[in-house]
């Protein structure tokens, strides 16, 4: 009967020992978890300070705070069955991934600066200072060495400022080079004035050039910073010169087109009257055009008309009612000569015929005399309004007695031939002026006896 208390006492002592051991184990596990969790918190704080966005770590902090282990006291049975290590391992892995992503994102942003540099280099490569180019070549190495997002961000800030500075220097170098191409500011102003004068002569819009030249001269006289005005003037002068060039280009197409229209009239092409009306409308539009868009419209209409006239001339080339063989027709109204062979037009040219009181005769003639060269002597005495100094022409073909010739006239500008020239100072004294290149050909092409048919 006395043995029973001894057994009970043994059980009590064993249970107490077991509980003590479990408590010690739980306390150790809790302390280990708390130590690792504190290290994580410290790491998160350090990585946030190193540039990692706090938002990317907030889910990790929340996960730790929600963990059953984070708030469990050391005596809690929670620690008897687990250590919380899986939670810590997951947080460690996610922390590493978040850090890597933050560094990669920062480096990705840095590529934008590289792109900015490349775009600038493509536009201004020859003007970027050599020192800036040399510095940029080390950026890739600097980026590779940057271990934290904050370090990368500092590089981005530094490089962005560097690109801005290099662009400013390059633009200034470009500006100086462009001004040098005009032989300095005085040369730029002189060419600007010349462009404005030309534009006004041709009734073109001079844009901002007059105002900018005035502003630049004012800034130069007061020694103010004229960089912005210089750059604006350079651009405006280039734009104005392009407008003048376009105007000249369109103008250069009008006279040849008029000659083609006149040729259609002289050949009796059915649509000749319509062509002439279209030409007159185009010429009027050109005279009043002052801007690029208006000139482009004129040019487009001119191309369309030129194409239509060329097609009509090709279609109506043959079947003309002229003598068989070779024949030459002269239209005094259109001031146009057509050379035919067997009823087909082989060449046409604008001409200049006799002036007032000395008009070229109309009628049916033949070439009966040819020679090269030929000296022309005025039959009118000096003092007569019709007198002209003795001169030599290269090719002559006489078609009517009394000295009526087809001949070259080296003194007549090529732009003077055509309608109206018979009433100008270059008009002949009854002969027919033919442009040199055509007369050279016509002299060899035309045999004695060729009909010359002159109509009003």
Residue 36 lies in a domain: yes
Q: Determine the pLDDT at residue 1.
A: 44
Last residue of a domain, one of 104, 129, 158: 104
Q: Taking residues 319-338, report their average pLDDT.
A: 97
Residue 277 lies in a domain: no
Q: Determine the pLDDT at residue 73.
A: 87
- CA-based nearest residue to 341, from 238, 428, 189, 446: 446
Residue 401 lies in a domain: yes
Q: Determine the pLDDT at residue 8.
A: 53
Provide the CATH number for the domain around residue 391.
2.40.440.10
Residue 50 lies in a domain: yes
Tell me how far apart the alpha carbons of residues 364 and 329 are, in angstroms, rounded to a whole number.
Answer: 9
Total structural domains in the chain? Answer: 2
Q: Taking residues 412-436, report their average pLDDT.
A: 95
Among 118-132, 344-358, 392-406, the minimum mean pLDDT is found in 118-132
pLDDT tens per residue, range 343-387: 999 999 999 999 999 999 999 999 999 999 999 999 999 999 999
Tell me how far apart the alpha carbons of residues 429 and 432 are, in angstroms, rounded to a whole number.
Answer: 9
Residue 403 lies in a domain: yes
Per the structure, the complete domain to which residue 415 belongs is given by: 320-456
Residue 171 lies in a domain: no
- Asked if residue 69 lies in contact with residue 82, where contact means CB atoms within 8 angstroms, the answer is yes
pLDDT tens per residue, range 60-108: 999 988 988 877 787 887 888 888 898 989 999 999 999 999 999 999 9
Residue 309 lies in a domain: no
424 φ/ψ sector (left φ>0, alpha ψ -120 to 50, else beta): beta
Average pLDDT, the chain: 92
Last residue of a domain, one of 87, 104, 121: 104
What SS3 class is residue 370?
strand
Rounded (5°) CA angle 220-222-228: 50
- 329 pLDDT above the threshold of 80: yes
154 CB neighbour count, 10 Å cutoff: 13
Residue 437 lies in a domain: yes
Last residue of a domain, one of 89, 104, 119: 104
- 14 pLDDT above the threshold of 70: no
């Amino acid at each position: 009967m006395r043995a029973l208390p001894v057994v009970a006492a043994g059980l009590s002592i064993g249970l107490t020992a077991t509980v003590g051991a479990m408590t010690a184990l739980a306390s150790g596990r809790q302390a280990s978890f708390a130590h690792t969790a504190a290290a994580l918190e410290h790491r998160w704080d350090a990585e946030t300070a190193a540039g990692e966005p706090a938002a990317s770590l907030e889910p990790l902090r929340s996960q730790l705070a929600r963990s059953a282990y984070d708030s469990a006291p050391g005596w809690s049975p929670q620690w008897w069955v687990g250590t919380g290590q899986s939670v810590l391992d997951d947080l460690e892995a996610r922390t590493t991934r978040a850090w890597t992503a933050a560094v990669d994102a920062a480096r990705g942003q840095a590529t934008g600066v590289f792109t900015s540099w490349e775009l600038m280099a493509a536009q201004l490569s020859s003007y970027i200072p050599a020192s800036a180019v040399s510095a940029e070549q080390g950026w890739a190495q600097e980026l590779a060495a940057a271990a934290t997002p904050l370090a990368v961000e500092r590089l981005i800030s530094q490089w962005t400022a560097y690109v801005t500075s290099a662009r400013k220097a390059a633009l200034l170098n470009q500006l100086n080079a462009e001004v040098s191409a005009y032989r300095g500011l005085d040369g730029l102003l002189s060419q600007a004035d010349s462009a404005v004068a030309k534009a006004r002569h041709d009734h073109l819009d001079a844009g901002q050039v007059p105002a900018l030249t005035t502003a630049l001269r004012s800034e130069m006289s007061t020694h103010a910073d004229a960089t912005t005005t210089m750059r604006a003037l350079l651009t405006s002068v280039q734009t104005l010169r392009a407008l003048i060039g376009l105007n000249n280009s369109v103008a250069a197409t009008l006279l040849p087109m008029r000659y083609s229209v006149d040729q259609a009239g002289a050949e009796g092409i059915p649509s000749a009257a319509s062509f002439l009306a279209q030409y007159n409308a185009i010429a009027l539009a050109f005279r009043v055009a002052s801007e690029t868009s208006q000139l482009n419209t004129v040019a487009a209409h001119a191309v369309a008309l030129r194409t239509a006239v060329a097609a009509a001339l090709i279609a109506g080339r043959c079947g003309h009612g002229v003598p068989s063989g070779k024949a030459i027709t002269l239209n005094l109204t259109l001031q146009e000569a057509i050379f035919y062979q067997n009823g087909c037009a082989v060449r046409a040219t604008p001409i200049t015929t006799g002036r007032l009181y000395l008009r070229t005769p109309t009628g049916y003639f033949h070439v009966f005399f040819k020679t090269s060269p030929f000296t022309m002597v005025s039959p009118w005495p000096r003092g007569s309004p019709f007198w002209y100094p003795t001169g030599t022409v290269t090719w002559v073909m006489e078609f009517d007695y009394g000295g009526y010739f087809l001949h070259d006239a080296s003194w007549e500008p090529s732009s003077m031939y055509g309608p109206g020239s018979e009433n100008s100072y270059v008009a002949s004294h009854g002969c027919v002026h033919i442009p040199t290149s055509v007369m050279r050909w016509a002299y060899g092409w035309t045999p004695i006896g060729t009909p010359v048919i002159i109509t009003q």
